[in-house]
Amino acid sequence: MAEQSFSTPAVNQDKPFTTVLVDYDEDLFTPPEWVGEELARHGIQWIVGQHRTPEAALEAARSGDVVMVQSVRPLLTRAVIEQLERCRCIVRLGIGYDSVDVAAATERGIPVCNIPTYCVDDVADHALALLMDAVRHIARQDRWIRAGRWDRTGARPSRRLKGCTLGLVAFGRIARALAQRVSGFGLTLLTYDPYVDAETATRYGVQKVELDELLQRADLISVHCPLTEETRHLLSTREFNLMKEGVFIVNTSRGPIIDEAALVEALRSGKVWGAGLDVFEHEPLPLDSPLRDFDNVTFTPHVGANSEESTADLYRLGCQIAIDVYNGVWPQSVVNPEVEATTPYPFRRQQT
């Protein structure tokens, strides 16, 4: 749809329209300088801060017509959202939006947006890298050699990928991108996703099955579902018991989807031969986490989305949402679309 501009934005004229970024992770996702320049070009004030408690986030967000958060810290809680008098849109700068109380925003008539097309290729690349490492134990062998240990048993147990079955838990954009990447590996591909039809999966060379069947058949499992009440501990003791002996697990989605205590037991028993984890139930991974005891598990610190290109995409798409809201245009990627009927703000649909 083509962008529609309006000469008079549908906003209060007594205060400048303001977009507030209440928190971001400075190690990877510092907003580029051009963001403020681009928003200013449209008449939008840009305020950036790092507020690590809901109370601090509230003080910052009070002035925002659009309130953004990049980090996954649970800052935009019900108590915060209920006090946002100016806010007409909340943006989670990322794919997952479990850190925002969407129900509270919906009750207030505030649309919540995410950035669903951001970092798809990057996370798919990262999932593939962790999968290859889990199977070939690259990181473990590197650690041993650096420690002066020349021991080729570190390469075992391994698995030839050709002929294996890869199970994709959920089949959204990232899982589809991963399926395309491994299409030449000679794998059988399965997916479990109650929200995707079998015809869509088939177009990617993937068979849609129920979760139990996936767990029973898969040699390799890669997790790609969002964190919801339905998916929290989706893979727990019962599910690990259904898996094949010697399965490999990768998670680049959200840590709490896997019950880490159950994963630890599966690693101890040998049910799981290797794992690649970019996300954890508690981040940073606690120093006393028993997961640290397994040298057949490779960790990365929730960086699957990282690339220069993905960061630029993230803020470019976030800027467009702020510009649309400023112009009274219903923004893209609203995760609570039912709020369009109840929001007090005069949004218009873009012209097609």
d(CA 134, CA 131): 5
Could you tell me the CA-to-CA distances from 167 to 75, 210, 282, 329 in Å, in that order?
34, 11, 25, 40
**CATH tag, 18-118+307-341:** 3.40.50.720
> Taking Cα atoms as reference points, which of 227, 233, 220, 162 lies closest to residue 191?
220
- Give catalytic residue positions: 254, 283, 302
Assess contact for 132 and 183: CB atoms under 8 A.
no
d(CA 212, CA 341): 39
pLDDT confidence band for 15 (50 / 70 / 90)? confident
* CATH number assigned to the domain with residue range 120-299, chosen from the 4 options 3.40.800.10, 3.10.290.10, 1.20.840.10, 3.40.50.720: 3.40.50.720
Q: Does the pLDDT value for residue 13 go beyond 60?
A: no
| Percent with pLDDT over 70 in the chain | 95
How does pLDDT run across 140-177, given as a tens digit for each residue? 999 999 999 999 999 999 999 999 999 999 999 999 99
Domain residues of the chain, as ranges?
18-118+307-341, 120-299
Q: Does the pLDDT value for residue 7 go beyond 70?
A: no
Assess contact for 141 and 154: CB atoms under 8 A.
yes
Domain 18-118+307-341 and domain 120-299, same fold? Reply is: yes
Calculated CA dihedral for residues 218, 284, 256, 305, nearest 10 degrees = -60
pTM of the model: 0.91
How does pLDDT run across 191-217, given as a tens digit for each residue? 999 999 999 999 999 999 999 999 999
Q: Strands 297-299 and 272-277, how do they pair?
A: parallel
Could you tell me the CA-to-CA distances from 265 to 221, 238, 268 in Å, in that order?
17, 12, 5
Which residue carries 């408690």 as its tokens? 53
